[in-house]
Amino acid sequence: MSSIIEQVDIGGFWGNHSVSIRFQESVNFLVGPNGSGKTTFINLLAAVLTADWVALEQSEFQFIEVKLKRNSPYSKPLVRVEKIMSEAFGAPEIQFSIAGKSTGAIEKFRLSDFVPLRYLHDPNYPRRMRMRLSGASGPLEEKLRTICDLSWLTVHRATGREESEPSHDHTVDRKLASIVGELSGFFASLQNNASAEVERFQEKVFLSLLSKESDEQLFNEVQKLNLSEEMSSLSDAFIELGVKEKRFRKDLELHFERVRQVLKKIHGREVLSISDLHAIVNTWGIHYIVSQWHEFTEIREEIFSPKMLFLNLVARFFQRKTLSVDSGNRLFVTTQSGKKLSPKDLSSGEKQLLILLGETLLQRGAPYIFIADEPELSLHVEWQSRLVKSLRQLNPQAQTIFATHSPDIVGPFSEFVIEMPKVIR
C-alpha cells in the first residue's frame, strides 16, 4: 500500500533558512520567481525519496523530514535525512532514518554501510564513479519503494552543468526512449490479459455443450427470449469476429424464422419434430454463447481502457499527427500525409507531452507521488492549460507536485498553489 506526502520540513535550507510545506492529496504547484527556491526544494524532496546520495551530499541543509500518510490514520510513514559528522572520516555523512508507520521501529541507513565513505569525500574521485556509488544502497532503495511509489521528472539546465553531462534535448530523448519501451511492455501485458480472457471465454463455450437444463427448463427459457434481440446480438458477434455478413445473414434469418415457427407449435400444443427440438436446443446454446460474448467484450474493453484513454488524450493534443500502436505493441506516429514516424522524430513539445502522459499511464492508476520540475518546458500555452486535467484523467489517484513558472499549467487549480517566498523562513 503506497503513501502520499502530507508534509515536508527542511532545516538549514540554503544554510540558515527553514521550509515547512503541507501538501494537498491531489495537485500541488510550487511557484515563485527565479531564485525563490522551488527547484532546490523539489530536487531535495526527490533526492530523499530516490536515495540520491550525491545530490543530498552536494546540497545545503541540516535535515529533511518527509511525513507521509496512507489510507489508515495510524499508518503514517516518516523519512528523515540528516547531515551528521562522521568521527571516522572527520566529514559530514548523510543518514536516513525511516519508520514504516508513526509508532513503528526506526531503521537507519548510512552510505558508509554500503561503500567506503572516503571515496565520496575524495575530491579527485571521478564524478562518474561517485554516481555509481550513489546507487549502491539497494536495501535503502528497496525500503523506500515499500513506502511510496514515485515518478520523478527533472530537467538539465545550461548553467551549472558539467561538460560531461548530456544536453537537455539528449536527456529528453533518453527519457522518451525509456518511456516508449515501458509503454510497449505495458501494452503487451494488457494484450496478455485479454488473451487470458479469450481462453476463459472459449472454455465456457465448450463447457456449455454439456447441457444441464431439463427439457422443461429449456422450453421455458427459450420462450422468454426476444428473438429479434438475439438475432441482432449474434449478428454483431459474427461481425466483430471478422465474419463477412453475406456469409451468415441468410442462415441466421432462416434459423430464427424456424425458431418462431417452432414456438408457434409449442403454443398450439402441436407435436414437435426432431429438427424442431434441435432448433430449440441450438437457440438456447446460442443465447448462452452470445451472453458470454457480451461479458467478454465488456471485460476486454475494461482491460484496454487505459491504453485507449491514453491514445485519445494524445489525439486531443496532436495536430496533423496520429499516435498508434502496432501489432507488436510498439508506438508509431502517422502524419496527415500518411508518413510513418518514430516517436523520436517528434518535436520537442510533442516528446515532452508523451513523456508526461506516458509516465502517468505507467502509474497504472495507483496512488503515486508524481514530482516534476518545470513540466511546461517546450509545451505550447494551450497544451499547458490542458495538461494537468489530462494527467488527472489518466491517474486520479496520483499526488502531483510540480515546480513551475507557468500560470497556464496551474490553470483552474489556483487554490493548490504554494508560493515559495511565503514558506521559507
Q: What is the pLDDT of residue 90?
A: 67
The full set of domain ranges for the chain reads 4-149+367-385+395-423, 189-300
For 132-197, the DSSP string reads HHHT--HHHHHHHHHH--EEEE----STT--TTSPPHHHHHHHHHHHHHHHHHHHHHHHHHHHHHH
In the CATH hierarchy, which fold is given to the domain comprising 4-149+367-385+395-423? Answer: Rossmann fold (3.40.50)
Q: What is the pLDDT of residue 158?
A: 37
Q: Summarize pLDDT for 109-159 with one digit per residue, the tens.
A: 987 776 665 565 666 665 555 555 555 578 898 999 999 999 999 864 333
Q: What is the pLDDT of residue 163?
A: 39
Q: What is the pLDDT of residue 128?
A: 56
Contacts of 310 (CB under 8 A, 6+ apart): 357, 358, 361, 394
Q: What is the pLDDT of residue 162?
A: 40
Predicted TM-score (pTM) of the model is 0.85
Q: What is the pLDDT of residue 190?
A: 97
Q: What is the pLDDT of residue 168?
A: 55
* CA separation for the pair 387, 163 (Å, rounded): 33
Grid cell locating 225: 427470449
Largest CA distance in the chain: 104
The sign of the CA dihedral 248, 250, 253, 254 is negative
Count of CB atoms within 10 A of residue 348's CB?
14
Q: What is the pLDDT of residue 356?
A: 97
Q: What is the pLDDT of residue 1?
A: 58
What are the residue ranges in the chain where pLDDT is below 50?
A: 156-165
Q: What is the pLDDT of residue 217?
A: 81
